[in-house]
Amino acid sequence: MNTTTAASYATAAEPSAPLVLDGVTLTYPDGDGRLTALDRVSLGVPAGTVTAVVGPSGSGKSSLLAVAATLVPPDRGRVLVGGTETGALSRAERALLRRREIGIVFQQPNLLPSLTAAEQLEVMAHLDGRRARTVRGRVRELLAGVGLADLAHRRPHQLSGGQRQRVNIARALMNEPSVLLVDEPTSALDHERGAAVLDLLVRLVRERGTATVLVTHDRAHLAAADAVLEMADGRLATATRA
């Protein structure tokens, strides 16, 4: 299997990539001291590519996504989304940037129990003030894209775990983000269903040119990735896929 050198994904090589982390350090309070969750992490994710991140529990993978999502400001270093230095933005500007440019898929779908699959997606677009007709067309297209065209009227309890995670992915893509951040999306699914959800995710982001970071515990997912990085104690390094 190929390995990808970290250098080819470093900031210098891709200054205009949709997502760039440059020397990011993040610490949390820990008793009398600080725990270093991210230690000088640099990463650039080109449009339409998938960067997989693997590593043991507690190594900083979710922290990496939280910083990339601009949900948590780092202690040091820069996070650039579409070339915009997010550290310079106000809270409100960051919230707007998230809504427009960043899709997030967490481990658990967190769908609203009372809404149908179509409505889960519509809510995202209404938050962004789009026109109703455009929104309906896009909802149909995305649900078809994740193989749920016929289940648009179902509520979460009427869907399987895999189907709920497909709705979750479609919802994250609703506002056409340039960056997609995905945290162990198949951990609640069996291997076969997980692989199907992953294939679909990779196809969608390539078609749409979405720069994607995929945190995964399943090494079977790594074959589809353009780069594979490994977190260990907050440090990000190039990994082998074997």
Using rule CB under 6 A, residue 127 touches ligand ADP: no
Q: Does 186 bind Mg ion (CB under 5 A)?
A: no
Smallest gap from Cβ 55 to ligand ADP, in A, equals 6
Q: Rg of the chain's alpha carbons, rounded to an integer?
A: 18
Work out what residue 223 binds among ligand ADP, Mg ion, none; the CB cut-off runs from 5 to 8 Å by kind.
Answer: none
Dist CA 82 CA 79 (whole Å): 10
Instruction: Identify which range of 43-51, 59-67, 142-150, 160-168 contacts ligand ADP by CB under 6 A.
Output: 59-67
Q: How far apart are CB 199 and ligand ADP at their closest, in Å?
A: 24
Whether 230 and 51 have beta carbons less than 8 Å apart is answered as: no
List CB contacts of 63: < 8 A, sequence separation 6 or more.
Answer: 26, 37, 38, 72, 234
Cβ of residue 96: shortest distance to ligand ADP, in angstroms?
Answer: 24
Q: How many helices (H) and strands (E) does the chain have?
A: 6, 10
State the first-to-last Cα distance of the chain, in angstroms, to the nearest integer: 7
Residue 216, interface with ligand ADP (CB under 6 A)?
no
CB of 205 to ligand ADP, least distance (A): 21
Residues within window 61-90 making contact with ligand ADP, judged by CB under 6 A: 61-63
Using the rule CB under 6 A, give the single segment among 50-58, 106-114, 133-141, 185-193 that binds ligand ADP: 50-58
Identify which of residues 61 and 94 has a Cβ nearer to ligand ADP in the complex.
61
For residue 165, how far is the Cα from the chain centroid? 13
Our finding on whether 58 is near ligand ADP (CB under 6 A) is yes
Residue 230 burial (10 A CB sphere; 0-12, 13-18, 19+): middle
Residues that bind ligand ADP (CB under 6 A): 28, 35, 37, 55, 57-63
